[in-house]
Amino acid sequence: MPIFALIDGNSFYASCEAVFNPSIWNRPVVVLSNNDGCIVAANARAKAIGPIAFKPLYQVEKYLKQHNTAIFSSNYELYADMSSRMHSIVGSFAPNQEIYSIDESFLDLSGMSWNLTDYAQQIKQLVRKSIGIPVAVGIGKSKTLAKAANHLAKKIERHNGVLDLSSLSEDAIDQLLSRMDVGSVWGVGRKLTPRLKNIGIHTALDLKQMDRNHARRNFSVVLQTTVDELNGIARIKFDEVIANKQQIISSRSFGTPVTDLHSMQEAVATYTARAALKLRRQHTQCMQLGVMITTNIHKSNEPQYSNWHYIELRYPSNSTNELIHISRQALRSIYKEGYRYKKAMVVLNDIRESAPIQIDLFNPQLRDTKRDEKLMSAYDLINRRMGGRTIQFAAEGTSNFKQQRTDWQMNRNRLSSRATTRWGELKIVI
């Protein structure tokens, strides 16, 4: 039975600001959008002042100042950096992690036999201790339930930031879901909420009890999926979220520690290729690429090192070719010999809609974007038709880390050779 955890930073942007600024720990804090236009984030104290979310600053500024509110411009570099650190700590607690947004990731906790509430407390405490960011952890038998648990863990104080719905009886779950507004259920948007309320569905419990066929006929397949998920039937698998993500992160833990630059380059190239594909699938390009590498923070007897490097692109891009080139550059500037690396991560930021590039005629390094675009669409087409990763960039390599990475912590000693799909397991005839 699948068990999902969702780890989500509390008022993430505001919390990032507070980490390095103790003078605001007990004050309301808000963060503004680009060009200081609107309020995009607020901590609990600021939220308590009144409905300020997404309001233009000039409308509420006087009000905020009366309450001694600290007001910040968006420090995107800081948030992205704190985000990578947070995701990397969280990811060390499970073999599979899906990074969903700048401050949220899912972990696959299936098959873990220990007390998950205690385990979630450990996650929460390690993030707090390591980088100073408060998080809440929600656990459930589906992603939608994990999201709901997270929401409730934040709302109901006595849960202390952790709620494991997977260990509760159906009655206890229903009791909790009856306290949650239907509009807060994952996947139920602002548009859908009034329509549901019109037909008497006000809470998450009401939606759980809705007839699934009725949901499909009168609303959509998506809503039917949500009804199933609330009933503990996992329909949304790992990494299947369709969203125009503001940030794309591709990362995995290695099956065995990586100790040489060559393997690390291949890993980073592979993650870059995966992230670039996501960019193209959602018809977007990015302006910034970051690479992060880290040793195993749970092995205190081993020398520890982690570092990251971000590079600003000259032009927005979604070309695997170009992004691999840039990620290699970033990796070279942080890689150090002599460590046993556990994990690498590639982060794409400043994501925008694909658009024709404004060509700078005076730039001597002008790349042939048309040629690159054609190459990438042929590449995507072949992989789509022929399945999976029929072709790939040589930089992604053919070495071992790929075969091993999903095996981390998994007992697959009896797995037969995958000679038809894995270079490393090709039959050798002498």
Residues near Mg ion, by CB under 5 A: 8-9, 12, 103
Which run of H or of E encompasses 129? helix 116-131
4 versus 254: smaller Cβ distance to Mg ion: 4
Place of tokens 């992060």: 292
Considering the complex, state which of residue 72 and residue 254 has its C-beta at the smaller distance from Mg ion: 72
**What's the min distance (Å) between Cβ of 157 and Mg ion?**
17
C-alpha to C-alpha distance for 414 and 23, rounded to whole angstroms:
57
Residue closer to Mg ion, measured from CB, 133 or 269: 133
**Residues 358, 285 contacting (CB under 8 angstroms):** no
Residue closer to Mg ion by CB (options 154, 342) is 154
Q: Estimate the share of the chain in helix, then strand, then coil, as percent rounded to the nearest 5.
A: 45, 20, 35
Task: Measure the CA–CA gap between 73 and 198, rounded to whole angstroms.
Answer: 39
Give least dist CB 150 to Mg ion, A. 9
What is each CA distance from 97 to 4, 151, 241, 290, in whole angstroms?
10, 19, 13, 18
Could you tell me the smallest distance in angstroms from the CB atom of residue 404 to Mg ion? 33
| Helix axis angle, 320-334 to 369-386, nearest 10° | 100
Q: Which is nearer to Mg ion, 14 or 326 (CB)?
A: 14
Q: Which residues of 335-359 are buried (b: 16+ CB within 10 A; e: fewer)?
A: beeebbbbbbbbbbbbbeeeeebee
CA–CA distance from 267 to each of 45, 260, 272, 299, 336 (Å)?
Answer: 43, 11, 9, 21, 15
The secondary structure of residue 416, as a DSSP letter, is: P
For Mg ion, give the closer residue by CB, 12 or 401: 12
Cβ proximity to Mg ion: between 9 and 140 the closer is: 9
- Whole-number minimum distance, CB 301 to Mg ion, in Å? 34
Give the shortest CB-37-to-Mg ion separation in angstroms.
21
Residue 181: name the closest of 170, 196, 171 by CA.
196
Q: Among residues 148 and 395, whose Cβ is nearest to Mg ion?
A: 148
- Cβ atoms of 10 and 17 within 8 Å: the answer is no
Minimum distance, C-beta of residue 154 to Mg ion, in the bound complex (Å): 9
The minimum distance between CB 135 and Mg ion, in angstroms, equals 8
71 DSSP β-pair partners: 30
Query: From the CB of 232, what's the least distance to Mg ion, in Å?
Result: 24
Edge-to-edge strand ranges of the sheet holding 39-42? 39-42, 29-32, 70-72
Contacts of 263 by beta carbon, 8 Å cutoff, 6+ apart: 397, 399, 400, 401
**Rounded CA separation 324/20 (Å):** 33
Least distance (Å) between residue 281 CB and Mg ion: 25
Cβ distance to Mg ion smaller for residue 139 or 227: 139
